[in-house]
Structure 1
Amino acid sequence: MLAGLLLGPSGIGQIEMFSKRFLTNASMHAVNTLALFGLMFFLFISSLKMDIRVINRIKRKEWAIGIVAFLVPTVLTFPMSFFLKRYAQNDQLSNYLPYIAILNSLTSLHSSTSILSEHNLLNSELAHIANGSSTISGLFAWSALLLSLYYERSKGRPNVTSLFLPLVASTIGLIIFTICVLRPIATWMIRKTPEGKPLKDIFLLIIFFMVLGCSFLSESLGLTPFFGPLLLGFVIPDGPPIGSAFADKLDCIVSEIFLPLYFLRIGNRINIYVIQPNTFWILEVIILLGLFGKLIGVMVPAMYFDMPFGDSFALGLTLCSLGIVDVHFYSRALTEKMINTEIFTTMIVSALILTGCISPVVKFLYHPSRSYRALKKRTVQHSRQNVELRILSCVYSQDDVPTILNLLEASNPNRDSPIGVYVIHLVELMGRATPLFITHKPQKSRVSHSTPPTQSDRIINAFRIFEQQNQGFVTLQSFTSISCFVTIHDDVCTIAGTRKTSIVIIPFHKQWGNEDATELTKCRNVNNKILDKAPCSVGILIDRGILTGTRSLLASWSCYRVGVIFLGGPDDREALAYAMRMADHPNVNVTVVRIIGERDKNYAALERKQDNDMINEYRLENVGSEKSLYKEEEVTDCIGTVNIIRSLENSFDLIMVGRQHPEASRLLPDLTELDLYRELGFIGDMLASSESKNSVSVLVVQQHSYGTEVRVPWSPLVT
C-alpha cells in the first residue's frame, strides 16, 4: 500500500510525465483486473479457512461481547453523524456521514486473527474470545453494511422498495443455492478423498470454476462480485482436504503477486492533497468515537465476566484492528459512491496509523503464559503418595501411541495410587484460519460405522482400551489441538496447568527410520517450547525400538528392566521419584546407578543433602528386594562417565535420566560442545545420538522449577 501511495496521486503520480508514461489507462486496467481477481480468491480462501460452525460453540460471554461491541459504536457514531452535518461545509460530506458511521462500526474476524497470528497468540484465551466475539459482531456489522448498500442503490428510484426488495431476495436466493447445491458437491469431493491424501486435481478445477461461477452469478443478480466467492468459502467445510489444497496451491500466488497489485490499486486511489481541514476533523471525530465505542463495548462486558482489566483492554484493541477486509469495504463504498476520494483517503490513512499503533500495544499487554503459570511446584517427587498421579501425554502421530501406553503401564496404576491420564493429539493447522481445540467426550469417542475413523479417533480409542483394561485404576480425558506448531505449546501448557498434572510426556522429535526433516524440526520446536513453558515436570520419551509394539510389554514379558543414572540435581531426583513408583510394579526391575566423583564446589549443600535423602529413601523402601538394586560407580573425569554409560546401554529396556546435572559438571563434557540434541542434556544426547547402536529407550526428565529462569539451551537449528 505504501508503494501505491508513492506511485499514486499522493506521490510521484503527481508528476505529469510519469503518470502519462506509466499510469496509463491501459496499464491500470490490467493491474485492476489482476488485483480484483486476486482479491476474489483471497476472500474465498480466507472464508474457506474459517469454520462457520464456530457459531454453535460460541459461549454466552462471547455473544455478549460481540453484540455490545457492535451496538455501542453504532449508537455513538450514528447519531453523532447527524449532529455533525451542521458543521459540514458541503452537502456531499453531509450526505456521506451516516455511511461513514456504519463503516466505523465494522469488526472483521480476519483482521483480529491476523494481529493475533502476528504475535503468536492464536492459541491463547484472548484469541478464543476474540474469534467468537468478532464473528458475532462482524455478522451484525456486515448485515447493516449490505442493507445500507442496497438502500443507497435504491435511493434514486421513485419507489425505493422496487430495487431494495429484489436485492435482498437475490441475496437470500444465492445463499440457498450455495448451501443446497454447491455445498453437497464439495462434501461429496471430501468423502471421495481418503484421509491424509491430497485433493484430486479435477476436484480443484471444479471448485475453481465454482468460485468464478459464484462471482459471475452474484454480479448478475446485482450484488457485489465478491459476495458469491466469500459465501462459497463459508459453506464449504474448512480444513483438509479442500482448505489445505487451496492453501498449498494458491496462497503463495495470491499473497505474493495478486494482493500487492490490489494494494497498489488502493494506493493509487488515495490522494492526500484533496483532504480539507473541515472534512478531516469531522471524520476524525467519528473515527475516534467509533474506536472509543468499540473499546467500551468490549471491555465492559469482558470485565463483567471477570476478565482482568489489562486483558480486556488488549481484547478491545484486538477487535479495533483493521485489515484488508475493512480496506475492501472502504474501496467498495468508494466505488458505490457512498463516500468520495477525500473521505476514502482520510479513512485509509487513519486505519494505517491506528493498526500500526494497536499491534505493539497488544503484544506488550498480553502474555498467554500468565494463564497457566503454576503457583507451586508440580512434580512427581512432590506428589503425595496414595493420591492420583496426573500425567499429560502428547501425541504427534499413531507411531507414538504404543510407546506411551507401555510407559503408562509401567507407571504402576493401582487402587491405592491411581493414574489420571490426559491425552492431547497435536495436529498442525492446515486449511483453517483459526485453531480448533476439541474436548472428546466418552460417548462421542466411538467411531461411527458410516464414516471411516480419523487418526485422532484411532489414537483416542487406543488409550480408551488402556483405560478399560485398568478399570478403576486409570481415568482418561482426551483432547485434540489443531493449531500452528508455533503456538500449539500453549494448549499443552494450558491443559497441564488447569488439570494440575505432575508431568508432561512428549515424544522425541526423531523416530528412527523417519527422514522427514521438516516435520522433525517442527516437532522439535514444540518440544523445546513445552520444556520452556510447562507448569510442571516434563519427560522426553526417546523410543529406540524396545518400547514399540502393539502388545503390552508388561503382560508379555516376565521382567521389564528399568535403569536410572543418578549424578545429582533436581532433574535426577525427579527421574528417581518416577522410577520408585515403577519399582512397585511386580513385573518391573529397577536398578539405580549412582556415579560418584569429584563434585563441583559451588554445588549447594542443601541440594547435596536432598540428593542423599532421595537415594536413602529409595534404598530403605527396597531393603531386601531382589528386583530393586542400587549400585555406585566412582569416576575421576568425563571419560570415565562416558564409559560407564556406554556399558549400561544394553543392560536395560528403559533408561531414565535427568536432563541437567549441576553437581556433576566436572564429570560431564561442556554442554556447549554438543552439536545435536541439546534439549536432552549430555547423557540423553549420547543415548539418542545416531552413533549409539543400542536399542534401549530413554526417558529424559526435567523437574519443574517454579520461579527460576528458563533452562532450555536452544539449538541454532531451532528457531
Structure 2
Amino acid sequence: MQCGALLNPLATGNSGFKYYIFPYQYAMVVETFANLGLVYYIFLLGLEIDFSLVKRFGSKALSISIAGLVGTFFVAVCSISVRSRLKDDQNTNENGEVMFWVVALGATSFSDLAKILSDLKLLRTETGMTAMSAAIITDLITWLYFIITVAYFVTEKHRALSIISTLAFALISWFLARPILSWAVSKTSKQRNESHLWFAFIGVALFGTISDVLGAHSIVGAFIFGVIMPRSHGFSNMLTEKLDEFVSTILMPLFYFTSGLRTDIRYVVINVEMSFLFVTVLGNCAAKVISTYLVSLKYGMPTRDGLALGFLMNTKGIFPLIILNAARDMQALSNRSFPLLVLILLIISCVTKPILSRNYRLKNVFGLSITEKMTQYTGFRILACVHNLGNISGITNLIKLSNPAPQSPLCIFAAHLVEFTGRTAASVLIMKDEYKSFKSGKFNDYCSKIEEPDQIANAFASLEKEDNSLTSHIITVVSPFDTMHTDICTLAKEKSVHFIILPFQKDSGEENQDSENINEKVLNNARCSVGILVDRGMSVTRSDSQKLTGDRSFHGYLPPKILSNKQIIMFFLGGPDDREALMYAWRMAGDPNVSLTVVRFEMSADEAQTTEKTWQTEKEMDEEILYEFTFKTANDYSIIYKEKVVNDGVGVIQSIKEIEDAYHLCIIGRGAKVKSPLLKGLSDWETCPDLGTIGDTLNSSNFPLQASILVVQQYSPTHDGN
C-alpha cells in the first residue's frame, strides 16, 4: 500500500508521474487480479465466522458490540460536514457517505484483534475473551449491514428487489446449500485431494457471480460461500491451510497496491485544515472507546479494563479498507472522502497496540519446586503441555505413574498448545478452561468423529473418571511459537503449578525445531520445576516384548501383570536437578504397581579430592537427601538403591549401557545450571541442550536402553540468570 501511495502526486510532485511509470492499461490488469484476490480473501474471512459461537456469548458482549456501532453512527452523522469542507466537485450521495462511514469505522477486525491480544498475552483474560466475543458479533452485524448497503447502492432502479433477492440468496444458501455441502464433505472426508480445492475455487466464483447478478457485490457471494462451508472433519481448516498463503502473499499485495494508488493524501492536506483533521480523527477514535467504556461501567468492569476494551474494539484491519474500496467503486465516496477515511483508519490502527502495551506488562514471580512441595503433603499441581494427539499417550501415562492419592491428590492443567496464525479459528481462540465430557460408548469410536482439540480434552477427562484423586482442566494456549513460552510460564504462575511437563518432539523438521525452542525457553524462564518427556511408549518394555515373541498363548494380548507393573530407573549424578528428579521418582514409587531402581554414580576417592568447593556444597546436600531416601525406603522391597564408582563421563555411559533394557521409564536430572564433575568432556557432544548431557546420550537411537526418558530441572532462585 505504501508503494502505491508513493506514486501519487504528493510524494512525486508530478501528477503525470504515476501514469508514466504505471500506464492505465497495466493498472486495469493489476486491478483485475487484485479484485480476484479480494474475492478469495473474503471467502477465507467467511471461513472464520462460526455461528455456533454466538450461543456462548452473554449480554455483555452483545451490549458492547451494539454500543460501539451506535457511537460510530453518531460520529459518522456529525462528520458529514467533512464533505462541505473538502469542497468536493463530484455529485456524491451524502447518505451513502454516512452509511459507509458507519460500516468502515464500526467494524472490528477479529483476526487483527486476536493478533494484538496474542502479542500482549491477553487472549485468556476476561478482557480478551469479552473483546473477541464482541468483535464476532460486531463483524456479523457489520457484514449484514454491508450486504444491504451494497445492494442498495449498486442498483439505482430496483433497490428493493436487489436487497430482497440478496437476502433470499443468503437464506437459501444457509438452509439448503449448507446441509448439502455438509453431507457431501462427510461422504468424502477420507479422500482429501486436489478436487476439494478446485471445488472451493469454483464455488467461490459461482457464488460471487450469483451475488453480482442479483445486484450485490461479488465479495458478498464469496463471503456467504465461506460462511456455509462445513466446519466438521477439518474441511475448513484444510481449505485455509491450502489457500491462505497463496491468497495472502501473492494476490492480496496487488489489492494493497491498488488501494495505495487510490489514496491521494494531497486532497486531504491541501483542502482540509490540520485542526479540523485532528478533531475529525480524534472524534472517530474516541467514539468506540467512550461508548464501550460506558457499557463496561454498567457491568462493573475496572476502569483500566473498560478503557482497554474500548481501544481493542477500535482495532481495524483489511475489512474496513475493503469496504472503502467498494464504496469508491460505487462512487459512494469521492476522491477526497476516500483518502480521509483511509488516513483515519491508519491512525486508529497505529495507536491501539502502543497504548495497550503501556498498560499491560507481565510480571515475574517465584514458584515452588517439587522438593519443597513434597514436604507439605498437599495437592500436587502439574501443567501438562501437548502439541497434538501424538503427545497424549506419553503425557497421560506419565500422569498415571505420578501416584495420585487421597493424601496427595493430583491437579492437572492440560494445556493444548496451538500456533497462532492469521487464520486461527475463532472456536479455538474463544475457549474456556474446561473440558467436554464424551458420550457413553467406546471412547475410540467417539474420538474418530470429533476434532483434535476435543479428542485431547476427552483424553484428560478420562483420567479423572478413572481416579477420584485426580482432577483435570483443559486450557487452550494460542500463541506464536516465538512467544509461546511466555504463555506457558504465565499460565504456570496463574495456576500455581509445581511442575511443568513438556513433550519432546522426536520427528525432525521445522515443527521439531519450534518445539525445541519452546522447551528451551520454558526451561530458562519458568518459575517452577520443569520436565521434558521423551515418549518411547510406556506400555511394554523391549525385554517384555521379546519374552512374548512367539508365545501364542496370549493371542496378541499382553498379560495384565505386564501391563500394570511399571519398572522405573533413576540415574543420580548429583546436583539440584538430580535431587528434584529423585523426589519425583520417589513420589511415583508410592504406587504399589511401580518398582523403582535408583543408581547413584560416585567419583573415586582420588578424583573427588580435585572437585571444586561449589560441588562439595552440592554433594553435602546430595548426601542429606539420599540418607533420608534410603532410610525411609529401607523396608520397601519395590525400591532398589545401588551405587557405582566411576572416574569420568565415559564410565557413566559405559555403566548405563550395561544395564538391561527392562524399564518403562528412565528419570534423570538435566544438570544444566550446576554440572556434575562426572559430565566433564561429554558436554561438547550435546545435540539437544534441553535434554542435558545424559538425556541427550540416552535419546540416541543406537543406545541400548530404549525406555521413555523424563529429564527434570529444578527451579532454584539462587541459580536464576534473571
3-state SS, counterpart of residue 266 of structure 1? helix
Counterpart of 2:601? Answer: 595
Tell me the distance in 1 between the aligned counterparts of 2:196 and 2:206: 15
1:80 to 52, 56, 78: 78
The question of 1:518 aligning with 2:487 is answered no
Pairwise mapping of residues 270-309 of structure 1 onto structure 2 (< 5 A)?
270-275=263-268, 276-278=270-272, 281-302=275-296
The residue type equivalent to 1:65 in the other structure is I
Contact 2:505–2:516 (Cα < 8 Å) also in 1? yes
Contact 1:215–1:226 (Cα < 8 Å) also in 2? yes
Tell me the distance in 1 between the aligned counterparts of 2:163 and 2:696: 66
3-state SS, counterpart of residue 668 of structure 2? strand
Counterpart of 1:136? Answer: 137
The question of 1:166 aligning with 2:132 is answered no
Which range is displaced more, 441-450 or 333-342?
441-450
The question of 1:584 aligning with 2:590 is answered yes
1:615 to 621, 626, 631: 626
Contact 1:8–1:271 (Cα < 8 Å) also in 2? yes
Counterpart of 2:694? Answer: 683
Q: Which sections of structure 1, spanning at least 5 residues, go unmatched?
A: 158-162, 712-719
Tell me the distance in 2 between the aligned counterparts of 1:25 and 1:78: 34
The question of 1:541 aligning with 2:533 is answered yes
Counterpart of 2:677? Answer: 666
Counterpart of 1:564? Answer: 570
What's the TM-score once normalised by structure 2's chain length? Answer: 0.82
The residue type equivalent to 2:36 in the other structure is F
Counterpart of 2:66? Answer: 67
Contact 1:377–1:706 (Cα < 8 Å) also in 2? no
Counterpart of 1:112? Answer: 113
Cα deviations by residue, 1:339-367 (Å, 9 ceiling, x for unpaired): 21122122223433443444455455545
Pairwise mapping of residues 401-420 of structure 1 onto structure 2 (< 5 A)?
401-420=392-411
What's the TM-score once normalised by structure 1's chain length? Answer: 0.83
Tell me the distance in 2 between the aligned counterparts of 1:14 and 1:6: 11
Tell me the distance in 1 between the aligned counterparts of 2:244 and 2:295: 37
Contact 2:100–2:327 (Cα < 8 Å) also in 1? no
Which range is displaced more, 691-700 or 34-43?
691-700
3-state SS, counterpart of residue 172 of structure 2? helix
Q: CA deviation at 1:5?
A: 1.4
Counterpart of 2:437? Answer: 442
1:176 to 171, 178, 196: 171
3-state SS, counterpart of residue 43 of structure 2? helix
The residue type equivalent to 2:315 in the other structure is S
Cα distance, 1:587–1:259 mapped onto 2, change above 3 Å: closer
Cα distance, 1:204–1:420 mapped onto 2, change above 3 Å: same
The question of 1:502 aligning with 2:508 is answered no
Cα deviations by residue, 1:65-95 (Å, 9 ceiling, x for unpaired): 33333333433x1453367788675687994
The question of 1:341 aligning with 2:331 is answered no
3-state SS, counterpart of residue 212 of structure 2? helix
Tell me the distance in 1 between the aligned counterparts of 2:592 and 2:293: 58
Contact 1:109–1:135 (Cα < 8 Å) also in 2? yes
Pairwise mapping of residues 640-659 of structure 1 onto structure 2 (< 5 A)?
640-648=651-659, 650=661, 652-659=663-670
Q: CA deviation at 1:177?
A: 1.7
Which range is displaced more, 571-580 or 536-545?
536-545
Cα distance, 1:316–1:612 mapped onto 2, change above 3 Å: farther
Cα distance, 1:111–1:174 mapped onto 2, change above 3 Å: farther
Cα distance, 1:241–1:697 mapped onto 2, change above 3 Å: closer
The question of 1:387 aligning with 2:378 is answered yes
Contact 2:420–2:479 (Cα < 8 Å) also in 1? yes
Counterpart of 1:714? Answer: none
Counterpart of 2:548? Answer: none
Contact 1:46–1:433 (Cα < 8 Å) also in 2? no
Q: CA deviation at 1:33?
A: 1.0
Tell me the distance in 2 between the aligned counterparts of 1:601 and 1:450: 59
Aligned length: 692
Which range is displaced more, 459-468 or 209-218?
459-468
Counterpart of 2:38? Answer: 39
Tell me the distance in 2 between the aligned counterparts of 1:602 and 1:407: 34
3-state SS, counterpart of residue 237 of structure 1? coil
The residue type equivalent to 2:7 in the other structure is L
Counterpart of 1:202? Answer: 195
Cα deviations by residue, 1:631-685 (Å, 9 ceiling, x for unpaired): 4445554444444444457474422112225444433237863441101111211
Counterpart of 1:716? Answer: none
Cα deviations by residue, 1:219-255 (Å, 9 ceiling, x for unpaired): 1121122111112212223476433333343323322
Tell me the distance in 1 between the aligned counterparts of 2:477 and 2:558: 27
Pairwise mapping of residues 197-346 of structure 1 onto structure 2 (< 5 A)?
199-238=192-231, 241-275=234-268, 276-278=270-272, 281-302=275-296, 313-346=307-340
Counterpart of 1:717? Answer: none
The residue type equivalent to 1:5 in the other structure is A
Contact 2:87–2:271 (Cα < 8 Å) also in 1? no
Cα deviations by residue, 1:575-595 (Å, 9 ceiling, x for unpaired): 111112222233333233333
Contact 2:380–2:409 (Cα < 8 Å) also in 1? yes
* % same residue: 29
Q: CA deviation at 1:552?
A: 9.1
Cα deviations by residue, 1:20-45 (Å, 9 ceiling, x for unpaired): 55533322221111110110001111
Which range is displaced more, 402-411 or 572-581?
402-411
